[in-house]
């Protein structure tokens, strides 16, 4: 009976997961057609092309994200915020494509505005209904898989707390075994028991999943694994890596030898090619659009202060290699040595033109050539002067890990208020925490979100000075 219930539940969840992934492009396409019809706009071939391109972008930005996300958002406001940011990224991409191909004149602006406006709330409503349905199926006690945890470790404690706090995971914790026969804290249904009785309990209570939270090399672990081979229980081993700061952790094998990556670049293989291709396309378009602005800035710098137009500074790039970063000169000095003083608010070294450039981040435009050359990316941890790197790598734990990806013109730290002067070590530590968060969760969509937020901050970032 239990197997039948689980099979029925799994089929329902697979169907709902597929619906959750396909719903965003279906909703956006339906709203586009409805918007055109509501305003008596003929749905011509250009609208069909727009529908196909937007459906693909929506699936990449929202649908695939929904499919890959195992967790179901509990807070509708959090889902709404996520959808608004992702939909804004889609709209920004479509507008950029329209500008580059000069095809915007073929569309009704009223119809597009109606489409842009109505789609997000309908997406939130539709996905909320699916999420409520999925949560009801997963959290139902009759559908939950019975689980036990064997042994004590920090990872075991974290798993215990997660299973007891989140019924939507579909696992009901029946018991935590301490095979070393001493009491453990903070978890119900715990008990010391000889290892030979564990398999007996698992068989008798028809346990679906057993998590082993013991050192993998211990004799107890090997013996318990042997005993559980006489059951039909699914067995998982929790590696005790709670004290390590995991960056893109994943398992793999080399010639049949299992390995676990604890710290790795997120841009391996196809993902790296995807990011590089995105950088080349967007940087090329942005460079073409910004060339007149850059020429005007260069002329203003030349006419208002002595010194070079372009400021060159050595910084650390991918894997800690030294690169030369280009910026429009905004100061009366061009420091690039063993000591580099950070820019402060109302810094007297900043020129009149430079103050405007720094406030609007237009001084960063020459870094588009760094992106085209491959030494930088549009999005990534901001590169620091070599002198600052050497200072903070000794003070901030994990500082150099941020160099596992190419540095960016903008980054997760910058759109979260961590830009400008780092007057204290704690400020740099907070910036590095955001950089490492970016490495842990990198995806193409995250880059789009950061770019959209960067545009929104261009003229109102109080940390830009």
Produce one character per residue of 25-60: b if its CB has 16 or more CB atoms within 10 Å, e if not: bebbbebbeebbeeeebeeeeebeebbeebbebbbb
pLDDT of residue 181: 42
Residue 182 has pLDDT above 50, yes or no: no
pLDDT of residue 70: 46
Longest dimension (CA), the chain: 86
Higher pLDDT, 167 or 105: 105
Q: How far is CA 327 from the centre of its chain?
A: 28
Residue 256 has pLDDT above 50, yes or no: yes
Higher pLDDT, 142 or 368: 368
**What percent of the chain lies above the pLDDT cut of 90?**
21
Count CB-CB contacts under 10 A for residue 372. Answer: 15
Residue 193 has pLDDT above 60, yes or no: no
Instruction: Name which of 134, 62, 69, 129 is nearest 91 in CA terms.
Output: 62
How confident is the model over 76-92, as pLDDT tens digits?
677 787 888 888 888 88
**What percent of the chain lies above the pLDDT cut of 70?**
80
Domain residue limits, the chain: 2-139, 145-243, 270-457
Sort residue 186 into left (φ over 0), alpha (ψ -120 to 50) or beta. left
Average pLDDT, the chain: 80
Alpha-carbon distances, residue 192 vs 10, 52, 149, 235, 347 (angstroms)? 34, 60, 12, 20, 65
Residue 69 has pLDDT above 70, yes or no: no
Q: Evaluate whether 163 touches 189 at the Cβ level (below 8 Å).
A: no
Topology adopted by domain 145-243: Rossmann fold (3.40.50)
């Amino acid at each position: 009976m239990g197997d039948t219930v689980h099979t029925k539940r799994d089929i329902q969840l697979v169907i709902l997961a597929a619906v959750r992934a396909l719903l965003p492009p279906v909703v956006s396409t339906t709203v586009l057609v409805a918007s055109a019809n509501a305003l008596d706009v003929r749905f011509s071939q250009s609208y069909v092309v727009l529908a196909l391109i937007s459906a693909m972008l929506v699936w990449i930005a929202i649908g695939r994200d929904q499919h890959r996300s195992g967790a179901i958002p509990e807070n509708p406001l959090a889902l709404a915020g996520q959808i608004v940011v992702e939909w804004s990224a889609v709209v920004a991409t479509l507008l950029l494509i329209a500008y580059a191909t000069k095809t915007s004149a073929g569309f009704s602006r009223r119809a597009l505005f109606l489409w842009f406006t109505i789609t997000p709330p309908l997406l939130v409503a539709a996905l909320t209904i699916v999420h409520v349905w999925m949560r009801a199926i997963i959290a139902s006690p009759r559908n939950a898989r019975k689980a036990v945890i064997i042994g004590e470790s920090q990872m075991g404690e974290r798993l215990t707390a997660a299973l007891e706090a989140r019924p939507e995971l579909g696992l009901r914790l029946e018991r935590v075994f301490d095979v070393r026969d001493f009491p453990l804290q903070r978890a119900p249904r715990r008990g010391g028991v000889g290892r030979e009785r564990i398999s007996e309990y698992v068989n008798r209570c028809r346990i679906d999943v057993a998590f082993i939270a013991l050192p993998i090399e211990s004799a107890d672990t090997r013996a318990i694994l042997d005993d559980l081979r006489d059951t039909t229980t699914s067995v998982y081993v929790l590696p005790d890596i709670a004290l390590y700061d995991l960056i893109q952790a994943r398992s793999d094998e080399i010639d049949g030898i299992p390995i676990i990556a604890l710290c790795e670049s997120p841009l391996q293989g196809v993902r790296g090619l995807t990011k590089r291709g995105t950088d080349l396309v967007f940087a090329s378009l942005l460079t073409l659009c910004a060339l007149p602005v850059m020429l005007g800035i260069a002329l203003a710098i030349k006419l208002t202060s002595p010194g070079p137009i372009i400021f060159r500074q050595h910084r650390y790039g991918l894997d800690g290699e030294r690169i030369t970063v280009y910026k429009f000169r905004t100061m009366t000095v061009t420091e690039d040595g063993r000591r580099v003083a950070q820019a402060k608010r109302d810094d007297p070294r900043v020129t009149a033109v430079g103050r405007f450039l720094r406030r609007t981040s237009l001084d960063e435009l020459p870094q588009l050539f760094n992106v085209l050359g491959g030494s930088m990316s549009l999005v990534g941890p901001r590169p620091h002067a070599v002198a600052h790197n050497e200072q903070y790598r000794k003070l901030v734990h994990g500082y150099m890990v941020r160099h596992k990806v190419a540095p960016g013109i903008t980054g997760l730290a910058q759109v979260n208020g961590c830009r400008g002067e780092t007057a204290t070590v704690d400020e740099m530590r907070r910036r590095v925490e955001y950089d490492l968060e970016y490495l842990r969760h990198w995806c193409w969509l995250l880059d789009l979100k950061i770019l959209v937020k960067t545009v929104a901050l261009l003229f109102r970032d109080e940390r830009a000075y």
